[in-house]
Structure 1
């Protein structure tokens, strides 16, 4: 022990907790920015979990059977960074000193892919908890699929730190209710019940009986645990391990524990303590060491490298025994947890596109999606579908799907989950499933309800998760349900999220291509699908190959031998149900001496990533353009320019049959022709 520890006989657990406290204080002070209150308050809870229960290996953060730790109250990021640093992850002290600085590995909130050991990006409160539900679900399903008697190769737990803010957010209700219903017994949430948020004492605006709420969800609840008593938290964690349901451990804590003047106040929540309070805290804790200095004996108490390496080595020995008895299952487990697609994947895609083309069906793209899913499910055992209580409308299930449910014995396996009316919770859980690895998860709802999911979609894009979001009823084409359900701005707004691919296919073949691209991508994808039937479009093999580029020439300009001389040219750009309008305008425009090229652009983001040579070949510079989509016009100006034309809709919809709505809002072939004439006439005058 250090000299200080010897002189005042500080217990090892106290030394460990105080090391976390001081790293957080020093890093926040160095940055002049951050949230020291939660790390100070939850340090003892962290000691109990990380030193006595958490199964992890700092030398291999991606070990498949590690426990998952999620800091849902991500503003307290320095607690996690301190834990990673002290336990032996690749996070040197210099990175702690660069907390919240440009390009450091210690950003203001934890970010997956930036810092080794960070399982998910957190900060938007409640989403970490919902991610964890997805992780726990993924573990339970993989265990049922791969474990065999005497060979438990999937056996890990998911732990969450959460605060009052996480539990005030509505997504916590969605996620916790689902977890309780599914009896996810390896999920444990440690609730930092400190009674403080940014505005002050939460009793004025958050007076829920939180334990009763979680008990009503079907959780096992451990009440009134002293969050500053490591042994008490340890006992609660042992209790959780024996429960047949998810567990909430309610830990009473003092925010800013150890800071003499600011502990227990909102002043310590989100601001540095300041030099004077830091000095007083050092004296109060009996911690005389300079900033960022951790005595060697305290580091030794925390170092988990040897313990983690031993745990992983034991698992790998057991996995090799499993491989000897079940070689196919072992190879499949490795493939799936590595995120690799089957060796025959490209053949599957080619056959799927060929079959969709030869079938030549006129169906809604939601139906085309269902047909595609059925094919994919046979090729991809990792496919895990679901819907937010709209299975029959989204058509996200398929004939061979097996519903996931829980009975008196616990969760029963399957590959399709009815998420209930929980769009936000579903989307965040899908992100958690993707982060866990082992499944390709998708979930469906109506496009207009993507607003409920939007922040989870943004987080998927930020984390680059392979999450797939199916949104049907994509426009006024859904008809009589009216403007509350008719998407107008949604396609454009989703396309504005960096890193999110959005596909709006026009028929069965484009739908199959969109699905294939979503599965192949290391990042999230939204599929926007129609309720109404869309006509099948004939195309050549070169055009089918070109679909994966996001936009391609579906019909080219008439050649020079056309009967009617062409006085001008125009490019018609369309997506989804409006591709048919562009195609229908070709002949009448040609009769009027206007040569039109139809470009189908099912994915603007994919097209934008193509080389300039491809983009110019599809959309030749200098040729007037008209974009056609049943959505807001402004988005399309980047493709048609200020001089180009857009046929769209800039108001909310109406309640009426779909055909009447397209006429009413002038989403018609005639409107396309009128815009084409206008832009070509303007171009001629300029010339």
Structure 2
């Protein structure tokens, strides 16, 4: 049994990290001590020796990124951040998993300085890291000039068996290999144990061969405690610039504890006796918690001076770059702060009243109109750019030219959306991903993490209702719109026409948070911009589109269903029924408005009928107990879109009839 005096400085520092993580979990009486005990040497090497990072200024642009994809090992990350000199104190470690602490059960970006992305749902950190590496490669291609490299960093990932079992890892790894993301380095904690037991019960593939097939560079390190071997593997991975790298490191879960090598150490505190035994194994005082030897702390804190020196050197390079490339330098600084160019909104198109336009087509017009003034807008679709209309016409695709702004994600909806979140977290881009709305089901976990992280991720969904027609119920969304509206901090945009679409894009770029669009396949009439302040209305979430002097009934529509409401108003007023039509493109934004404004649009005491080709759940908070909803409690059908809409009740005649029913209650 070693004593502290016997330990090398490296080993002392690693073991300090291990036992801080053990104490975090032990004090909280919950958590995951196994991975920290096994992976501490990897974390030490990365943060102490290999990574370019500055604990005193976490967000400097050219830092290396670290993603803890197996987010349940958060105690390891928090202890690493504390020891390295980030703004994570010993008291923060002692409040692990407690109310309002900086050290939640799984890493959350924005809660803890040094945490790049929110992880925990396995595989998503891996996917986000792919997005970060895409962002780095694109920004390097756009901004770097001969003799002036201001974007040159790596993305490091620590992941476990669970990450690589999840389907998203297959999607993301395949994409990363295809795109040749040479600055992405994944260290795989290959410990042969999952929560249920040995991985051989459920996971027997040859992981390295799988990644070789994805065009990755692969290596194996046989001993997770061999610092020299791990470091040599990382350096070899850095030398391979044409492929992403996977390093499988054979570790022992719970190393040094009585439960080492078993699933019993995965997801619960060791207990007082086993925690003491583990400290004894490493030669640390058994009766002390959160013990940090002075020599270990001094060694770890070298990261502060090294990090400041690295950032200072980068600043000198950036100043020289800015002297030669002032416009690009200003654009770069603005982009990493997630700020738009002054006056960019003047490039937004206005659509004259006349020929109907599908909102998906309007979206393409908007994107291309603002392409030059919002160069940070970047993304693509899941093999559907021709259908979702989300492509920059004057830009190459990223795989052929990294400076290109069009990413062909392939049929990988979940991987695409996770990558979008990674790009947003990286900073310097406003990323988007696109697919058919019904396939948002494949994307939901990533959309939720975008909202939770308050990432500026934009998800563009088209073919938003039964109006898409012949493809039938498998492709016709019913519950998706309402499902996504329930996600906190996610802004919904379902515009009624081309001008509302332009206004929604403006808001999506101004609000700097997660958002989704639901756009139509079918053509829709145009709101006349000469008579309506469309942006002003959309910026309130809902507004009066058509009014009457003393409305007796209010029709509320979203998207394509605004138009049968407009036609129903004409039918009702022929019968002397004064009718107001409200367009509500965004519930989220409307709910943010004052009660005074809400009363001006949807006053109490006036019957209200909501019309939307989707689930009616949730509409009752706007229409009240005396109101009504024309929605869908069934799936659609395969037929021409106008036929499906007619058969399922989305006609002006049915809207007018239902409105009269409300008046005669």
TM range (shorter): over 0.9
For 1:385 and 1:257, how far apart are their aligned partners in 2? Answer: 42
For 1:412 and 1:136, how far apart are their aligned partners in 2? Answer: 11
In structure 2, the partner of 1:308 is: 307
For 1:405 and 1:588, how far apart are their aligned partners in 2? Answer: 54
Shift of 1:193: 0.3
- SS of the residue corresponding to residue 553 of structure 1 reads strand
In structure 2, the partner of 1:552 is: 543
Alignment of 1:388-407 (within 5 A): 388-406=382-400
Deviations 1:68-100 (A, max 9, x none): 000000000010001100000011100000000
2:538–2:586 Cα contact (<8 Å) kept = no
Is residue 2:73 matched to residue 1:82? no
Is residue 2:145 matched to residue 1:148? yes
The counterpart of 1:15, out of the listed 5, 9, 12, is: 12
Shift of 1:621: 1.0
2:495–2:518 Cα contact (<8 Å) kept = yes
The counterpart of 2:356, out of the listed 352, 362, 380, is: 362
1:52–1:234 Cα contact (<8 Å) kept = no
- SS of the residue corresponding to residue 286 of structure 1 reads coil
For 1:542 and 1:412, how far apart are their aligned partners in 2? Answer: 40
Distance 1:359 1:142, change over 3 A: farther
Shift of 1:506: 0.8
What stretches of structure 2 of length at least 5 have no aligned partner?
none
For 1:390 and 1:30, how far apart are their aligned partners in 2? Answer: 50
Alignment of 1:82-231 (within 5 A): 82-231=79-228
Deviations 1:75-134 (A, max 9, x none): 000100011000000111000000000000000000000000000000000000110001
For 1:341 and 1:502, how far apart are their aligned partners in 2? Answer: 21
- SS of the residue corresponding to residue 200 of structure 1 reads coil
Shift of 1:359: 5.8
In structure 2, the partner of 1:447 is: 437
In structure 2, the partner of 1:249 is: 247
1:337–1:437 Cα contact (<8 Å) kept = yes
In structure 1, the partner of 2:419 is: 429
1:361–1:508 Cα contact (<8 Å) kept = no
1:225–1:236 Cα contact (<8 Å) kept = no
For 1:477 and 1:102, how far apart are their aligned partners in 2? Answer: 46
In structure 1, the partner of 2:447 is: 457
- SS of the residue corresponding to residue 271 of structure 1 reads coil
The counterpart of 2:502, out of the listed 512, 515, 519, is: 512
- SS of the residue corresponding to residue 185 of structure 2 reads strand
1:180–1:218 Cα contact (<8 Å) kept = yes
Distance 1:20 1:361, change over 3 A: farther
Shift of 1:360: 4.1
In structure 1, the partner of 2:336 is: 337
In structure 1, the partner of 2:643 is: 660
In structure 2, the partner of 1:677 is: 660
For 2:514 and 2:274, how far apart are their aligned partners in 1? Answer: 45
Shift of 1:543: 4.4
- SS of the residue corresponding to residue 255 of structure 2 reads coil
For 1:332 and 1:373, how far apart are their aligned partners in 2? Answer: 19
Distance 1:544 1:183, change over 3 A: closer
Shift of 1:225: 3.5
Report the aligned-residue RMSD.
1.3
What stretches of structure 1 of length at least 5 have no aligned partner?
561-567, 683-687
TM-score with structure 1 setting the length: 0.95
1:48–1:231 Cα contact (<8 Å) kept = no
After TM superposition, which residue ranges in structure 1, 4 or more long, deviate above 6 angstroms? none
Deviations 1:565-598 (A, max 9, x none): xxx7001000111111000011221122321100
In structure 2, the partner of 1:565 is: none
Deviations 1:216-244 (A, max 9, x none): 00000012442111111001011011012
For 2:17 and 2:340, how far apart are their aligned partners in 1? Answer: 41
Is residue 2:290 matched to residue 1:296? no
In structure 2, the partner of 1:271 is: 268
1:405–1:413 Cα contact (<8 Å) kept = no
Shift of 1:552: 0.3
Shift of 1:398: 3.3
Q: Is 498-507 or 631-640 further displaced after alignment?
A: 631-640
For 2:393 and 2:347, how far apart are their aligned partners in 1? Answer: 19
Shift of 1:4: 4.1
Shift of 1:336: 0.7
Is residue 2:566 matched to residue 1:569? no
TM-score with structure 2 setting the length: 0.98
- SS of the residue corresponding to residue 473 of structure 2 reads coil
Deviations 1:122-171 (A, max 9, x none): 00000001100010110111111111111111111000000000000000
In structure 2, the partner of 1:412 is: 402
- SS of the residue corresponding to residue 400 of structure 1 reads coil
For 1:76 and 1:295, how far apart are their aligned partners in 2? Answer: 23
- SS of the residue corresponding to residue 249 of structure 1 reads strand
Distance 1:109 1:607, change over 3 A: same
1:473–1:529 Cα contact (<8 Å) kept = yes
For 1:348 and 1:630, how far apart are their aligned partners in 2? Answer: 32
- SS of the residue corresponding to residue 442 of structure 1 reads strand
